[in-house]
Amino acid sequence: MHSLIRKECVVLIFLCFAVAQYTAAAASAYDGQDIQSGHETGKNEAEEQQTRSFRKEYTIWFDINKWQIDTAFRGNAETIRRMRMEVDSLLANGIITTDSISVISAASPDGRNVYNKWLSRKRGLAAYDLLESQYPEIDPAIIIVDPIGEDWETLRRIIYEDSQMPMREELLELAGADLPNDEKEKRLRQMKTAFRYILKHHVYLMRASSVTFNISMPAISLDSVKGPDIPLPEIGRGEIRKAGYAPAPQRQMTRKMILAARTNLLVPALNAGIEVPVGNNWSVAADYYFPWIWPPKENRWCVEMLGLNVEGRYWFGRDRKQEDRLSGHSVGVYAGGGYYDFEMNWKGRQGEYVTAGVDYLYALPVGKKKNIRLEFCIGFGYMHSWVRPYEVKEEFGALIRDPQELRVNWFGPAKLSVGLVVPIYVKTKAGGGR
C-alpha cells in the first residue's frame, strides 16, 4: 500500500515538472515575438524620422495686363535677390534637396475670363523661365506650373479679412457663388462702390505668380552630436500663402508725382503753366500767357498780351500708376480771360476777353523713364471780347481811338496747343498692402 502511494506521488511530481517546463517555453517564445515586433516598430518610426520637409515661398507681382517680370515693380528685384540667396544657402551644403517647385499663377477678376486664363498662363511661364535661368542645376521636370486664371479665392479671402470693405456680405456671397466667372465679374462691376474700393486697395494681390520650393533634408539629432555645435541652415518661416492669398510686398521707396510744369510750344518761351494730379484720374491746371513783343526802333506793329486760363481734366484709364499720371487720353473744361494789344502798320486793336469751353488732350510720354511728355490739345468753346480800334499817325505818337467800342462773340475752335510737360516727383514709401 505504501509502495503504491509512493509511485503515484512520483508520477504526480513528474507531471507538474513537465507542465512547468512547457509553460516557461511558451512564455519565452511569446516574449521573443513581442520583442521582435517592438524592434520592427521602432525601426519604422526611426525611418520616418530620418528626413523632414519644409518649403520656401516667394511672390512675383505683375502690373495690369502684363506678364513680363518687371524687376522695378513692387519689389520684384528684392524678391528675386532674396530667393536666390536663401535657396542657394540651403542647397550649398549638399544634404538638402529640392523635391519639386510649384508655380501658381493668377490674374485679377476684372476682364474677360478667357483672356485672364491666357494671361495667368503667360505669367506662370514667365516664372518658369526665371527659375530655369536662376537655377540651371535644377531639373526642369520638377517645376510644376499651375495657372489658375481668375483668382476668386484670394478675392474671397480679402473680402473676409477686410472689415472696411463696402457691401461685404454681398461680395462674400458673390465670390463663393457657383456662377461663370464672366457673370460674377459683371455683377461685381455693378457694385460700383465696392468695385472701386477693390481696385484701389487690393486688386494687385491677385496679379501674381507664387513660387514654392518644396525641400527635404535629413533629420539631425543634436543629442547624438558630440564636440562643437554643428550650425544648421536657417530655414525661416517665409511667406505663407493661405487659401490662395498672396502676402503684400514689403514697403519700398518709389516716386510720387506732385505737379508738372508745362509750356505751349506754339508760343515759345512766352507762357508757363502748372498741372497738379488729383488722385489717379483727375487734375487741375493753370496757364499764364505773356507775349509782349514790339520792334526796338519803330512803333508800326506790336503783339502784347496777358492771359490766364484754368482747367479741370479727367484722364481715362483704370489702375494708373504714378508714372502713368498725366498721360494718355483726357477731356477737360477750361475758362480764362485777359488783355491784348495787336498793331500792324500803325493800326491796331486793344481790348479784353473772356473764354470758356471743353477740350480734348493726348499726352505722350517720351524717354525711357517717361520723365517728359508731349501734349496735343484742341478745344472748342465760346469767347467774348470788348474791342477798341485805334491808329497812330507817327512813330511813338499818341493813339487815336475809335469812339465806337466793338463787342465780338465767337463760338467754335478756341484753343490749340502743343505742350512740353516736365513732371516733378518726390520720393515716398509704397508697396505695402491693407
3-state secondary structure 190-257: HCHHHHHHHHHHCHHHHCEEEEEEEEEEECCCHHHCCCCCCCCCCCCCCCCCECCECCCCCCEEEEEE
Write the DSSP symbol of residue 58.
E
**Could you give the angle at which helices 168-175 and 181-190 cross, rounded to 10 degrees?**
170
pLDDT per 10-residue tile (average), the chain, 434 residues = 47 47 46 45 48 80 88 89 84 74 88 88 91 84 89 88 86 86 87 86 86 73 42 39 39 73 90 91 93 68 89 83 82 95 85 96 85 93 93 74 88 94 79 37
The Cα diameter of the chain in Å comes to 181
Cβ-in-10-Å burial (0-12, 13-18, 19+) of 374 comes to: middle
pLDDT at 138: 81
Bridge-based pairing state of the strands 302-315 and 292-293:
antiparallel
Say what the pTM is: 0.45
Cβ(393)–Cβ(400) under 8 Å? yes
Return the closest-CA partner of residue 387 out of 337, 343, 351, 346.
351
Enter the C-alpha cell of residue 104.
501658381
Q: For residues 217 and 31, what is the distance between their CA atoms, to the nearest angstrom?
A: 37
Enter the C-alpha cell of residue 258.
506732385
What is the b/e burial string over 137-149, where b = at least 16 CB atoms within 10 angstroms of the residue's CB? ebeeeebebebbb
**Could you give the angle at which helices 76-91 and 113-134 cross, rounded to 10 degrees?**
50
CA-to-CA dists, residue 259 to 100, 371, 413, angstroms: 49, 12, 28
Cβ(56)–Cβ(240) under 8 Å? no
Enter the C-alpha cell of residue 276.
497738379
pLDDT at 195: 86
CA-to-CA dists, residue 404 to 107, 386, 407, angstroms: 70, 11, 10
pLDDT at 125: 92
- Cβ neighbors of 116 (< 8 A, separation 6 or more) are 107, 108, 109, 149, 150, 181
Q: For residues 341 and 299, what is the distance between their CA atoms, to the nearest angstrom?
A: 13
In the chain, the domains with their CATH numbers are 51-217+235-250 (3.30.1330.60), 254-430 (2.40.160)
pLDDT at 239: 36
DSSP 75-110: THHHHHHHHHHHHHHHHTTSS-EEEEEEEEEEE-SS
Write the DSSP symbol of residue 40.
H
Q: In what order do the strands lie in the sheet with 143-150?
A: 51-61, 208-218, 97-107, 143-150
pLDDT at 218: 65
Cβ(151)–Cβ(119) under 8 Å? no
